[in-house]
Amino acid sequence: MSGFLFNDVIFGPVRSRRLGLSLGINLLPLHTKYCSFNCIYCECGWTSPNQAPNPVFPSRAEVKLFLEQRLQQLVHEDYLPDALTYAGNGEPTLHPEFAGIVDDTIALRDKYVPLSKVTVLSNASMIHIPAVFAALQKLDNNILKLDAGFERVFNLINNPVDPVSFDSLVENLTKFNGNLVIQSMFLRGTFKGEIVDNTTPAEVEEWIRRIVEIKPKMVMIYPIARATPVHNLEKIGQEELEAIAVKVRRAGLSVGVY
């Protein structure tokens, strides 16, 4: 499968446009993508329609061991990360031991790099599960995706593997009571013979309405940065993204353009 994949449980640190120096934690199977969405812009490529029914995740013990070893090394080198970030080859909250791994990560962060922010980059598809929801509440940066205002555009852009109620997803995002950051990718193009554009005035207005309902502590707006599985997608320019950000600020929310 084409795409940018991670072959290690712990990777980096890497320079992130949103997080500074970020040490990555890949909770997904190595060498392959495993995700609940099939986003048309995903740097990991397409989600296989034949995902393994019993995927091999790194165990909680392995994640803890590899993370502690890497943190010890970074402390010795005096090269301390700004963030410890669950990312990698798909949706990190699909890991069956996600909640326990969060507890381990926080303990290791407190021991070795107390100024680092424990962070997740998630598509929010699993937040209806109580254990996942509770674990996400513990994070410093609970960064969850919302790329659209209307369900049709959500389905075109994020292309869920299994059907997802967009209204229910937004409703579940409101249950964090503001303890989250919303990340939103803006793009234009075509997919399956349909125009995909979440930058239109109507789409942006509806997206902002949803964001105001969710009340995140911050909104992160960003464009395509790497190769995408759909090849005709347009990278939205800085000026246009800033114009969207102005509308978000007028709605009373904090926003950053990356």
Domain limits, the chain = 10-257
Reported as a single tens digit per residue, the pLDDT across 164-184 is 999 999 999 999 999 999 999
With CA atoms as reference, report the closest residue to 33 among 81, 83, 92, 76: 92
CA atoms of 80 and 82, how far apart (whole Å) = 7
Burial 55-68 (b: 16+ CB within 10 A, else e): eebbebeebbebbb
Reported as a single tens digit per residue, the pLDDT across 116-140 is 999 999 999 999 999 999 999 999 9
Reported as a single tens digit per residue, the pLDDT across 79-117 is 999 999 999 999 999 999 999 999 999 999 999 999 999
Reported as a single tens digit per residue, the pLDDT across 193-202 is 999 999 999 9
- By the 8 A CB rule, do 250 and 208 touch? no
Report the predicted TM-score, pTM, of the whole model to 2 decimal places.
0.94
What would the CATH number be for the domain defined by 10-257? 3.20.20.70
Enter the tokens of residue 139.
Answer: 């994070």
